[in-house]
Structure 1
């Protein structure tokens, strides 16, 4: 793991707040000149701490009105079942997050869709076809209270 100093941490916090800030703006915020600021950012990127830069979109503005969390249990706890499920689920655009979890279920999926009709089609056409899935439990988001992407770096 790379050691981060106070300036690196401040840069990371600033970039998480607004990834489109110019190097000049960032340099001013961390009290460095442009070149050392740019070099630090490139070093942090090369180390893999910054995975990628993205634009966060308001789902409702593009008619995505349903967020579903699905807990999935596989029929057997065998390596080939896990590999098959993970390979397949990663191809589905509707699935925004996949977590392999401990507990009563094997996976937790975050799925974003337009509406319940699209959810029903998704389950029938894409998930129910998998013979390796033994159980699926869905929870529907009524209202999202917090949606944070930033990881506070201290």
Structure 2
């Protein structure tokens, strides 16, 4: 594993601005972080090449898309061999309702964050998608009442 690049204060300011608005123009970004446009552009490119900036994306409003509810699902698998973990993980990644999926230590094997349309949408997801995945032994679910913080990445 490579060591993370050393970031100075200017790099951190650039990253904070880009995390707030990934579509900001280079000229505006340079102005906000106190650089001229060319050095700012060079720093952004260096951060991209170093993998600090992984990609740019639009954050979509799941409620506006018809999936107002979020459910956290803890999953236990039948087996824990490499083949089962791989098959389950790949099948899970194909489900469009799955926002996040984490392989865990502890009592459950996975924690899955899912967007659904109410209890009917949740039942549909469970019966016709999650329960059809290979190796699933047990699941436990919790509906999110309110999201207090949502960040696409850590702030530098």
| TM-score (normalizing by structure 2) | 0.92
2:9 to 6, 10, 14: 6
Report whether the alignment pairs 1:90 with 2:93: yes
1:76 to 63, 75, 79: 79
After superposition, residues 2-151 of structure 1 pair within 5 angstroms as: 2-151=5-154
Contact 2:77/2:109, CA 8 A, preserved across alignment: yes
| TM-score (normalizing by structure 1) | 0.93
> C-alpha root-mean-square deviation of aligned residues, in Å?
1.3
3-state SS of 2:86 partner: helix
Q: Which runs of 4+ in 1 moved over 6 A?
A: none
CA distance, structure 2, for counterparts of residue 149 and residue 130 of structure 1 = 27
3-state SS of 1:97 partner: strand
Aligned residues: 153
Per the alignment, do residues 34 and 136 of structure 1 end up closer, same or farther by CA in structure 2, a change over 3 Å counting?
same
**Alpha-carbon distance, 1:78 to partner:** 1.3
**Alpha-carbon distance, 1:131 to partner:** 4.6
Unaligned runs of 5+ in 1: none
Unaligned runs of 5+ in 2: none
